[in-house]
Amino acid sequence: GAGVSQSPRYKVAKRGQDVALRCDPISGHVSLFWYQQALGQGPEFLTYFQNEAQLDKSGLPSDRFFAERPEGSVSTLKIQRTQQEDSAVYLCASSLPTMGEAFFGQGTRLTVV
């Protein structure tokens, strides 16, 4: 497709379960970003890749959060031992380096019960 694709769109996890969220960026987009958006809040930066290199992971809230982009295209955000406070929409965005617009995916709504 032409846009950023995320899957699944919705995920319900029991507390303590591990989850994996997938992002397919726009073809050719070198930069990829993960954001966490709590209800009624702005997107909070989690981590940033340029190709396969993770250049910034300063926003990851704990060592339970891990992201990878092994071949410089698809990225996976993994959350281990999910907690209720992890419930949020996880947004992925991609862009060309030094260019303006970051294109967002539809997000994955994670609910931890």
Binding residues vs another protein (CB under 8 A): 4, 31, 33, 35, 40-45, 48, 56, 58-59, 91, 95-107
CA distance 94 to 29: 6
Q: How far is the CB of 47 from another protein (least distance, A)?
A: 8
Q: How far is the CB of 11 from another protein (least distance, A)?
A: 16
For another protein, which is the closer residue by CB, 41 or 111?
A: 41
For another protein, which is the closer residue by CB, 57 or 64?
A: 57
For another protein, which is the closer residue by CB, 15 or 62?
A: 62
Residue type for position 9: R
For another protein, which is the closer residue by CB, 42 or 70?
A: 42
CB 6 within 8 A of CB 94: no
Q: How far is the CB of 15 from another protein (least distance, A)?
A: 25
Which tokens go with 78? 């993994």
Residue with tokens 């990851």: 60
> Read out DSSP for 15-52?
TT--EEEEEEPPTT--EEEEEEE-TTS--EEEEEEETT
